[in-house]
Amino acid sequence: MAELQLRSVEKTYGNGFKAVHGINLDVKEGEFMVLVGPSGCAKSTTLRMIAGLETISCGEVRIGDQIVNDLVPGKRGIAMVFQNYALYPHMKVHRNLSFGLRLRGASRQTIQSSTDTVSGILEIEELLDRLPKQLSGGQAQRVALGRALIKQPEVFLFDEPLSNLDAKLRASMRVRITDLHKRLRDEGRPATVVYVTHDQVEAMTMGDRICVMKDGHIMQVADPVTLYERP
């Protein structure tokens, strides 16, 4: 029940600059939507409005049957993964993973079993007692992914999550994220995804559909084959 809908969404920044011009977008439950477009076209602004990290100047964002415009990030049923991982530097990996659950007041048992499950899936069991500064980029990004996954959100938001990784790691993380998305679908808890990237390979290989933005407008929404394969 977590379709994501944007209805006539606009963003005007404090300095008067209109970054997003009345966009409409439907991301179906369990769909992997990739957001592409040149730097400055408002991909990040759009994602941050969905996340609740930026106010919505006009229009509506709906997640499931709820209008989330006035909800804080923690109440939106979303989890976000950032390019710079955004791990808490003073907390060990296991604490980073379980932070969201602790805030929600989860029991020790739940925290333990969720941490076990998620670290197994992402193969980070060996890293649980390290601090973020003791992780490589690829390891840190797996922890960041784990921190999102452990909350079992209905909507995952990714802001260029692989941009800081080298080409080989990017390729393996692409597969990892796609597999994870399939796995959640197979387990009957489909995750709705909005994934911002400027990498065409990521867009083509990961997206069920691709949304192309330019200057704060949506130019086109199409599946990868339609968009990239020229006859």
Quote the least distance from Cβ 231 to ligand ADP, whole Å. Answer: 29
Nearest approach in angstroms of CB 72 to ligand ADP is 6
Asked if 79 and 34 touch (Cβ cutoff 8 Å), the reply is no
The yes or no reply on residue 13 touching ligand ADP (CB under 6 A) is yes
Cα-trace Rg, the chain? 17
- Our finding on whether 107 is near ligand ADP (CB under 6 A) is no
Q: How far is the CB of 15 from ligand ADP (least distance, A)?
A: 5
Identity of the residue numbered 61: V
Binding mask 54-93 for ligand ADP (x = CB under 6 A): ------------------xxx----xx-------------
User: Which residues lie below 8 Å from residue 175, measured CB to CB, with a gap of 6+?
Assistant: none
Residue 225 and residue 208: Cα distance in Å, rounded? 10
Give CA–CA dist 69/177, Å, rounded: 28
Rounded to the nearest whole angstrom, what is the least distance from the CB of residue 20 to ligand ADP in the complex?
8
- In the shown chain, the binding pattern of residues 149 to 178 toward ligand ADP, with x for contact by CB under 6 A and - for none, equals --x---------------------------
Residue closer to ligand ADP by CB (options 53, 128) is 53
**Residue given tokens 């499931």 in the structure block:** 64
With contacts defined by CB under 6 A, how many residues of the chain interact with ligand ADP? 22
Residues 6+ apart with CB under 8 A from 86: 144
Q: Is 15 in the site for ligand ADP (CB under 6 A)?
A: yes
Q: Which two tokens stand for residue 117?
A: 């499950």
